[in-house]
Homo-oligomer: A and B are copies of this chain.
């Protein structure tokens, strides 16, 4: 039973929203300022599960988070997709003309850069977390400063949204993993997605051969990403997500891949959130 989760950021952050949508509003959250701290929280049993952003439709995969899951031998037990909407917010009765500085997470600033071209008087400043800035503005009653954060952050910290959905690309989806130190025992008939990692030598056709196996076993590929292994030139690691209708098909593919690829590692088997 999962009662507490570690999230990156404070309450009102996008990780917090995911914790509420995936579990419910009563879930206890441990607010962590870095992904390292998030992992620490589950390893030290402070939290039952962790929530980690893993890729978004603008910037692609967050490879360091894959590395954290891999090196700590954690288990992905679920996934969740969130449509990220960034709002500009400040204390009530502040207008856009009052704002001199906007603080937010570098990724949020990047995604909203175009909006601020029409307001050259506003200085953009990087901060550690989107929601934390909102919290600080309320606590210190700071005027002339705005945050870029979620609607939940505006509600929690009683800020006024000056401008809605200011990100350049209006549909900006981020995928999150729910991660645990031990495998959740999801019944096999409920599992229809898996994240795996394997290595291949740089030999012509080696990846095509593996993908043929997946296809022959009725698995669908929903993601693939190669990463060169720097310590061993000409060797590649692949992170692959597959979906399937029957666990048996997946199990068969796994057995074949174990023989054909090197260092096959299952990062997680879980329910597809896209159904």
- Verify A60–B61 contact, CB threshold 8 A: yes
- Kindly report which residue of chain B lies nearest to residue A211, judged by CB atoms: B208
> Which of A141-149, A179-187, A217-225 is near enough to bind chain B?
A217-225
Given contacts A59-B63, A63-B58, A110-B64, A207 and B230 within 8 Å (CB-CB): no
Does A20 reach chain B (CB closer than 8 Å)? no
Cα distance A227–B169 in the bound complex, in angstroms: 15
- Kindly report which residue of chain B lies nearest to residue A169, judged by CB atoms: B230
- Verify A57–B226 contact, CB threshold 8 A: no
Does A126 reach chain B (CB closer than 8 Å)? yes
Cα distance A49–B218 in the bound complex, in angstroms: 46
Contact residues in B for A57 (Cβ distance below 8 Å): 227-228, 230
- Verify A230–B173 contact, CB threshold 8 A: yes
Does A202 reach chain B (CB closer than 8 Å)? yes
- Verify B208–A222 contact, CB threshold 8 A: no
The complex is assembled from copies of this chain, and their number is: 2
Q: How far is the CB of A245 from chain B (nearest CB, A)?
A: 11
- Verify B225–A225 contact, CB threshold 8 A: yes
Cα distance A204–B217 in the bound complex, in angstroms: 10
- Kindly report which residue of chain B lies nearest to residue A233, judged by CB atoms: B274
Q: How far is the CB of A257 from chain B (nearest CB, A)?
A: 13
Does A212 reach chain B (CB closer than 8 Å)? yes
Q: How far is the CB of A80 from chain B (nearest CB, A)?
A: 15
- Verify B202–A208 contact, CB threshold 8 A: no
Cα distance A214–B219 in the bound complex, in angstroms: 21
- Verify A225–B60 contact, CB threshold 8 A: yes
User: Which one of B60, B110, B207, B225 lies within 8 Å of A211 (CB-CB)?
Assistant: B207
- Verify B171–A231 contact, CB threshold 8 A: yes
Binary interface profile of A, 186-204, with partner B (CB < 8 Å = 1, else 0)? 0000000000000000101
Given contacts A223-B226, A224-B225, A212 and B215 within 8 Å (CB-CB): no
Q: Name A residues whose Cβ lies closer than 8 Å to a Cβ of B.
A: 57-61, 63-64, 67, 106, 110, 126, 169, 171-173, 202, 204-205, 207-208, 211-212, 214-215, 218-228, 230-231, 238
What would 20 A/B residue contacts be, using CB atoms closer than 8 Å? A57-B228, A58-B64, A59-B64, A60-B60, A60-B63, A60-B227, A64-B110, A106-B126, A171-B230, A171-B231, A172-B230, A204-B218, A205-B215, A207-B221, A211-B211, A221-B226, A222-B228, A223-B228, A224-B225, A225-B225
